[in-house]
């Protein structure tokens, strides 16, 4: 997931995307309001690095 600054920027971008999705839902363009967020890390890398997996999971929780 990168440095603390990389993770902060990731969280910021997820929040922006969520705000855009909310506006689209309000306009009726995207009625379900679903936003897919991907770590861009393959499962094999997750399996090799348990600490990295914890870091990614923690970063996703920050996006709430």
The distance from CA 28 to its chain's CA centroid, rounded to whole angstroms, is 23
Task: Give the residue from 48, 60, 59, 44 showing the smallest Cα distance to 3.
Answer: 59
Asked if pLDDT for residue 8 goes beyond 80, the answer is yes
> Tokens representing 48?
């090799």
Q: What is the pLDDT of residues 12-64, one digit of tens each?
A: 999 998 899 899 999 999 888 788 888 788 888 888 888 888 888 898 899 87
- Domains in the chain, number: 1
Q: Are 62 and 11 in contact (CB under 8 A)?
A: yes
The distance from CA 17 to its chain's CA centroid, rounded to whole angstroms, is 9
Residue 28 domain boundaries: 4-62
| Whole-prediction pTM | 0.73
């Amino acid at each position: 997931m990168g440095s603390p600054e990389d993770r902060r920027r990731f969280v910021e971008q997820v929040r922006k995307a969520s705000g855009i999705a909310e506006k689209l839902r309000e306009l009726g363009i995207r009625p379900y309001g679903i936003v897919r967020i991907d770590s861009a890390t393959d499962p094999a890398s997750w399996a090799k690095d348990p600490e990295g997996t914890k870091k990614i999971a923690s970063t996703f929780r920050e996006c709430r």
